[in-house]
Amino acid sequence: MGRPAVFLDRDGVLNRAFERDGVPVPPRTLDEFEVLPGVAEACAAFRAAGLLLVVVTNQPDLARGTLDPTLLQAFHDKLRAEVPVDDIVVCPHSGHEGCWCRKPRPGMILDAARRHGVDLDRSVAAGDRWRDVDAAHRAGVSSVWIDWGLGEPLRDAPGARFGSLAQAREYVLEVCGAPRA
């Protein structure tokens, strides 16, 4: 019997992502790192309901050498200052490294769940790309697809689709509060 958790993708879910050539890209400067409307309030509601909040984010630019680790730290300091998250887990690898943590692999979710004593049956992962939806399913948690209009195709069908995390708030609370089977 563990705690329910919400596993949150970062870019495009918590903070604004940008589109370049049809592909979402993360912020590149601290000014571009902007927490999206309603995110702080939704996360406060999740915390108030007893949910653990874990950010799980692929950051392959670390492996590519195009993201300075000190800038990543500054992004996450800004995020923590505005949004009450319990943990931030980063996959620093590129797609070529075959690591266990890069979504769609479930490593970040499963390792954090073990560390924090999470009840996966009552947990949800929210993300804006197919990798997030597939990682949720491989880890055995419900999925919420945040569709901000990029038009990128999914692979697995998500459990639910919303235009923002703020709009997903009641759904997440319902899934995580559902009685255990």
| Angle at which helices 130-139 and 107-116 cross, to 10° | 50
Q: Is 68 a catalytic residue?
A: no
How many CB atoms are located within 10 Å of the residue 161 CB? Answer: 16
Among 99, 154, 160, 166, binds Zn ion (CB under 5 A): 99
Rg, the chain, Cα only: 15
Q: How far apart are CA 145 and CA 68, in angstroms?
A: 29
Among Zn ion, Mg ion, none, the one that 11 touches (CB under a kind-dependent 5 to 8 A) is: Mg ion
Q: How far apart are CA 86 and CA 177, in angstroms?
A: 18
Strands in 124-127's sheet, in edge-to-edge order, are 87-91, 52-58, 5-8, 124-127, 142-146, 160-162
Q: How far is CA 71 from CA 11, 79, 101, 166, in A?
A: 15, 12, 21, 26
Nearer to Zn ion, 96 or 180 (CB): 96
Among Mg ion, Zn ion, none, the one that 103 touches (CB under a kind-dependent 5 to 8 A) is: none
Q: Is 9 a catalytic residue?
A: yes
Nearer to Mg ion, 54 or 122 (CB): 54
Q: Does 91 bind Zn ion (CB under 5 A)?
A: yes
Among 5, 7, 12, 56, binds Mg ion (CB under 5 A): 12
Among Mg ion, Zn ion, none, the one that 101 touches (CB under a kind-dependent 5 to 8 A) is: Zn ion
Amino acid at the residue 15: N
Q: Does 47 bind Zn ion (CB under 5 A)?
A: no
Q: Does 134 bind Mg ion (CB under 5 A)?
A: no
Residues 89-128, mask of contacts with Mg ion (x by CB under 5 A) = ---------------------------------------x
Among Mg ion, Zn ion, none, the one that 99 touches (CB under a kind-dependent 5 to 8 A) is: Zn ion
- The count of residues in the chain is 181
Q: Which residues are catalytic?
A: 9, 11
Binding positions for Mg ion, rule: CB under 5 A:
9, 11-12, 128
Residues in touch with Zn ion (CB under 5 A): 91, 93, 99, 101-102
